[in-house]
Amino acid sequence: MIKRFLFFSLFAAVTLLNVYGQAKPANYGNIPDELVAFDKYMKAYKYHFLEPMQFYGAGREKIAPVGLKEIRIGFLGPLEGTNLVLMGKQMLNGSTMAIEEANKRGGFNGIPYKLMVHNDVGLWGAAANEIVKMDDEGVWAWLGSIDDFVSHVAIRITLKLEIPNVNTGNPDPTFTETNIPWVIRTIPDDRQACYVMAKQMVDIDKHKRIAVIRTGSRYGRVGVVHLNRTTTRLGYPFILEERFKDGETDFTDRLERIKKTNPDAIAIWGNAKESALILNQIRALGMNQPVYTSDRVISEEFMKIAGKNAEGIKTTCQYNPDSNDPKLKAFRIAYRQRFGIEPDVIAAHAYDGMNILLSAVQKAGLNRAKIRDILTDNRTFQGYEGVTGKVIFDQTWNNIRPIYAAKVVNGKFEFGPAPRWVKEEVIYKKVSREGEY
């Protein structure tokens, strides 16, 4: 009886892996063994996010329409009326380029793809309305967005309307934890960035007194959660955490308070413009501490504003923009020729994400439920090699591939392997578990 039980348990585990096409990571979200909550004391009764949320509803029986003149794909991004416009336009460019290339290859069985572009302005209701408009337009799937609030609301409407979504720009670690089976994310999230930053600050650079100044938006509030948890578990919680509003230009009062705490390192978490202004004011106040930042500083805007003060700052990047990968080099050349600017991290991930989305449409045909099936069957896209590197999906369809470290040296960002808590080759060998509460 026991042997039979063990046999069927093993059979079920193997079958589950084959069905979902997903390997089991050592810990959910690549949480380093040293950082799993309470793990040194006892194992949790239940760990979460271990199994993909499946869709068992109707829809696969719908017959594809005939006589279509175009195959519509939705796009939602910050294109006007928000402080994320520069990133939104890069995301649109990357998506447009992938659509144009697909049409040159013949589109969908000779029918051209058309991008149905929608603007998000960071408002809850507005995001919902735009997804409803996409449904009215008859899109087969959609790509976007960047803003945390917008993305969270939009995927709840995509669940109701059953439209597949590929997110390529929202780094909120909780985004795929909603367990909505119509959503995948192809850009690594801020959880990965926080683990790398904490490793660098505390374990390598030996900082013990870390002060943080962050945006008061959800991007800042959720973004630094894992940084705070990680440094705390290492024995060095933030000595001070200050906040600012997006659009502010004078941060003197908060920086004066930070200065009084005598930190040995300062972390800035915000968008490129505010981060550059804060860095300039830190140096103007005579504060020479090492500065660490969120990855949104990797932009021409930040470097232009920060100037020489950017020298020596450390951050992370979701891929290596200077990689010798022929696909990335070809993409950068084509992008510059098409749009006259250098592609940023958002553009590159939008290009990859749109190619994944279009590939799913090609394989599944014109049926939303079947497109969803292809997108979430990681036997299809697990290990997909795009211009940003491999895609490694976890059980929430979140890309958890290793990210890169970045540092400004001689006036430009240099990229290299990020310090890791565990060796990359053992990420998928242990039993999966989730230790965050």
pLDDT computed for residue 50 by the predictor: 78
Any domain includes 135: yes
Structure tokens at 105: 């290859």
Q: How far is CA 382 from CA 95, 321, 351, 395, in A?
A: 21, 22, 17, 11
**Residue 247 within a domain:** yes
**CA distances from residue 17 to 294, 405, 433 in whole angstroms, order as listed:** 35, 32, 15
Write down the residue that tokens 């995927």 correspond to.
155
Give tens-digit pLDDT for 381-390.
Answer: 888 899 999 9
pLDDT at 124: 66
Question: Does residue 240 form part of some domain?
Answer: yes
Binned at pLDDT 50, 70 and 90, residue 14 comes out as: very low
| pLDDT of res. 97 | 98
- pLDDT above 90: residue 42: no
Same domain, 81 and 167: yes
The answer as to whether 16 is a domain residue is no
Measured between its terminal Cα atoms, the distance across the chain in Å is 37
Host domain of residue 75: 71-188+323-390
Q: What is the mean pLDDT of residues 392-398?
A: 91
One domain for residues 412 and 293: yes
247 and 384 share a domain? no
Residues 209 and 329 in one domain: no
Give me the chain's average pLDDT, please.
88
Give the C-alpha distances (Å, rounded to integers) separating 51 from 25, 47, 86, 341, 395: 11, 10, 36, 41, 6
Tokens standing for 110? 């000779």
Buried-exposed string 103-131: b where 16+ CB fall within 10 A, e elsewhere: beeebbeeebbbbbebbbebeeebbbebb
Q: 129 and 173 in one domain? A: yes
Q: What is the DSSP letter of 108?
A: B
In this prediction, residue 426 has a pLDDT band, given cuts at 50, 70 and 90, of very low
Residue 292 shares a structural domain with residue 199: yes
**Sheet strand arrangement including 265-269:** 240-244, 210-215, 265-269, 291-293, 314-317, 404-409, 412-417
- Residues 302, 198 share a domain: yes
Q: Are 316 and 196 in contact (CB under 8 A)?
A: yes
Listed in sequence order, the residues at least 6 apart from 19 whose beta carbon sits closer than 8 Å to its beta carbon are none
CB 318 within 8 A of CB 345: yes
Is residue 403 pLDDT above 70, yes or no? yes
- DSSP secondary structure, 334-358, as one string: HHHHHHSS---HHHHHHHHHHHHHH
Question: Hey, which bits of 6-94 come out as E strands?
Answer: 71-77
- For residues 262 and 348, membership in a common domain is answered with no
Weakest mean pLDDT among 44-53, 66-75, 281-290: 44-53
> Do 358 and 224 sit in the same domain of this protein?
no
For residue 310, what is the domain's CATH number?
3.40.50.2300
Over residues 134-192, the pLDDT tens digits come to: 999 999 999 999 998 899 999 999 999 999 999 999 999 999 998 899 999 999 999 99
Q: Is the dihedral of CA 41, 43, 46, 50 positive or negative?
A: positive
For position 268, what pLDDT does the model report? 97
Domain membership flag for residue 118: yes
Q: Tell me the pLDDT tens digit for each residue of 194-237.
A: 999 999 999 999 999 999 999 999 999 999 999 999 999 899 99
* Per-residue model confidence (pLDDT) at position 51: 80
How far apart CA 174 and CA 161 sit, in angstroms, is 21
Per-residue confidence at 320, pLDDT binned at 50, 70, 90?
very high
Q: Name the 3-class secondary structure at 268.
A: strand
Based on the structure, what is the number of domains in the chain? 2
> Phi and psi at residue 190, in whole multiples of 5°?
-70, -20
Does the residue 121 lie in any domain? yes
In this structure, the chain runs to a length of 437
At residue 266, the 3 state secondary structure works out as strand
Q: Does residue 395 carry a pLDDT above 70?
A: yes
Q: Is 106 within the bounds of a domain?
A: yes
Look at residue 339 in the predicted model and tell me its pLDDT.
97
- Residue 402's alpha-carbon distances to 282, 385, 427, in angstroms, are 31, 14, 10
Residue 3 lies in a domain: no
104 and 172 in a single domain? The answer is yes
Tell me the HSE value of 259 on the side-chain side, using a 13 A CA sphere. 15
In this structure, the answer to whether residues 357 and 238 fall within a common structural domain is no
For the stretch 75-126, pLDDT in tens is 999 999 888 999 999 999 999 999 999 999 999 999 999 999 999 986 767 8
Same domain, 291 and 420: yes
